[in-house]
A and B are shown apart, each in its own frame.
Chain A
Amino acid sequence: MSTIKVNIVTPDGPVYDSDANMVIAVTTTGELGILPGHIPMVAPLEIGAVRLNKESSTERVAVSGGFLEVRPDQVTILAQSAELAEDIDTARAIEAKKRAEERLQQKQGDLDAKRAELALRRAMNRLDVAKGKI
């Protein structure tokens, strides 16, 4: 089966660089699966999991937004943060989730609430990816 090169890059450096048979990502308009030979495309991503299907396994990466750039032979994901499922620090994610929930409860102004909600979504996403739920 043919493969496509996948790069995941964050400001702190490259996170992932390998070949996959299929890339599945959650864009703002819904889930998107990319196979080798896809037309060049750019799409914004939601906070969610990127799944990389390989011959016998599936790898998961938690990304916090950003966008996806597709070329026929290469997929590049540019996100402000991205973590491989096995690299996720679950304890820290649980901690972040708690903090975000507390802040949401306190409700100080719209901006803070919005930020707390995003933080909560990122934390939950990381937890889900770490546990292999999505």
Chain B
Amino acid sequence: MASLREIQSRINSTKKTSQITKAMHMVSASKLSKAELNAKSFNPYMEKIQEVIGAIAAGAPDATHPMLESRPVKKTAYLVITSDRGLVGAYNSHVLKAALGKIRERHTSKDEVVIISIGRNGVDFFNKLGYNVIQSVIGVSDHPTFAEIKDVTREAVGKFIDGEYDELYMYYNHFVSAISQEVTEKKVLPLTDLSSMNSTASYEFEPSAEAILEVLLPQYAESLMYGALLDGKASEHASSMTAMKAATDNAKELIDDLTLSFNRARQAAITQEITEIVGGVAALE
């Protein structure tokens, strides 16, 4: 049996760890509610864009734009949203596993794939496996503003238009609730499901439907990516919250066990001392 002092020091260190994880749990909880708010304030923007695109698709179905055209796929880009740090439970491994699984299923050669990664974990993961990471963003804040990732989204759309890749998929954790996040795959480019957006409004296009698509579609694709990032961030905070809660609970359980064995050891020591004293006294008589 471990000595009293050893058990005591384990209890103390576990207690300290649990204090930290408890604090992190509360920090994540407050970040989560802020992230949910952010996602909510982004919604009206997205809805409006979808409405107008739907109206164009319905009102001028023959309008064309490079971003709407499916072309033979030679190269595919994958945008993967992960976190920068760990301590977020299975958040990163889920999304990375899903993305890697799909990539391996669809492509035989690594040359057909390029990776755009938001978050340090994704960058490290794909670099290690020898994939071509063409863009990476590290250090996105907890509550990202659109300006923070504008350059990346613009470049991602630009490279598609320039023909550097022919498809763009994104992988992220969709926030369902505080205890459940789902890995989601979404095809961003080419934009194919425009006609499915229902819109009742009909508009005059000034100067033309094409000219509007020219402005609207890049803006739409970039918003899709930003929306995914906000969603991913909410999931990250939720996941971190759950992980820290579990860690705190486990620490508490461990402390209980340790305290029990500490008391046993203490009791054993006392009993032993008494036996020794009694034995000593008996020997003197």
A interface residues with partner B (beta carbon < 8 Å): 9-14, 27-29, 32, 39-45, 65-67, 69-71, 76, 78, 80-81, 111
Does any Cβ of A come within 8 Å of B258's Cβ?
A: no
Tell me the bound Cα distance from A13 to B146 in angstroms. Answer: 10
A15 to chain B, nearest CB (A): 10
B interface residues with partner A (beta carbon < 8 Å): 38, 41-42, 44-45, 48-49, 52, 55-56, 145-147, 150, 158, 201-207, 211-212, 214-216, 219, 222-223, 226
Contact B219 A42 (CB under 8 A): no
Contact B219 A12 (CB under 8 A): no
Q: Across the A-B interface, how many residue pairs have beta carbons closer than 8 Å?
A: 80
Which A residue's beta carbon lies closest to that of B42? A11
Known: A11-B226, A12-B145, A78-B219. A42 touches B212 (CB 8 A): yes
Tell me the bound Cα distance from A43 to B56 in angstroms. Answer: 12
CB-CB under 8 A from B222, the residues of chain A are 80
B218 to chain A, nearest CB (A): 10
Majority DSSP secondary structure for residues of B touching A: helix
Contact A44 B45 (CB under 8 A): no
Tell me the bound Cα distance from A125 to B158 in angstroms. Answer: 24
Contact A11 B203 (CB under 8 A): no
Which A residue's beta carbon lies closest to that of B204? A41
Contact A29 B207 (CB under 8 A): yes
Contact B211 A14 (CB under 8 A): no
Which B residue's beta carbon lies closest to that of A13? B41
CB-CB under 8 A from B158, the residues of chain A are 111
Which B residue's beta carbon lies closest to that of A39? B204
Which B residue's beta carbon lies closest to that of A9? B45
Contact B147 A81 (CB under 8 A): yes
CB-CB under 8 A from B44, the residues of chain A are 9, 14
Tell me the bound Cα distance from A39 to B203 in angstroms. Answer: 8
Which A residue's beta carbon lies closest to that of B149? A11
Contact A80 B219 (CB under 8 A): yes
Known: A42-B52, A42-B212. A12 touches B204 (CB 8 A): no
CB-CB under 8 A from A80, the residues of chain B are 146, 150, 219, 222
Which B residue's beta carbon lies closest to that of A44? B215
